[in-house]
Amino acid sequence: MRNLFYIFIGGGLGSVLRFLVSNYTQRLWNVNSFPMGTFVVNIIGCFLIGIITSYFIKVDNYLKYLLISGFCGGFTTFSTFSAESYSLWQSGDYPILIFYILLSVMVGLSAVYLGLQMVRN
């Protein structure tokens, strides 16, 4: 039950920070119809989960639940990524749709890898 509480707290904090970072980023870098706010949040989240996972992979304590499942789970957003991709598809903005999907997956995987490597070295 305690782990659920930590996930709850971390998820709430991650969600609020996602909202703030995403909105600020979108206003700062309003690039046509490219969803820059969600992209930046998801890449930061991928990097953080790489770092945190690498550090806590062999440790079983409450911080793993608070930071990985809670904070990173609340901070990143696959559902918004999917909805924005669908919106780009509906509007016929296929080049940006393909660019968004490919860039998100490639840079996201690279960010996780970089985060893992930073802690291991």
22-41 burial string, b = 16+ CB within 10 Å, else e? beebbeeeeeeebbbbbbbb
Whether 12 has a binding-site annotation, put simply, is: no
Whether 50 has a binding-site annotation, put simply, is: no
Query: Quick one: tokens of 68?
Result: 């990985």
Distance CA 89, CA 94 (A): 6
* Sequence ranges of the binding site: 73, 76
- Residue ranges for the binding site for Na(+)? 73, 76
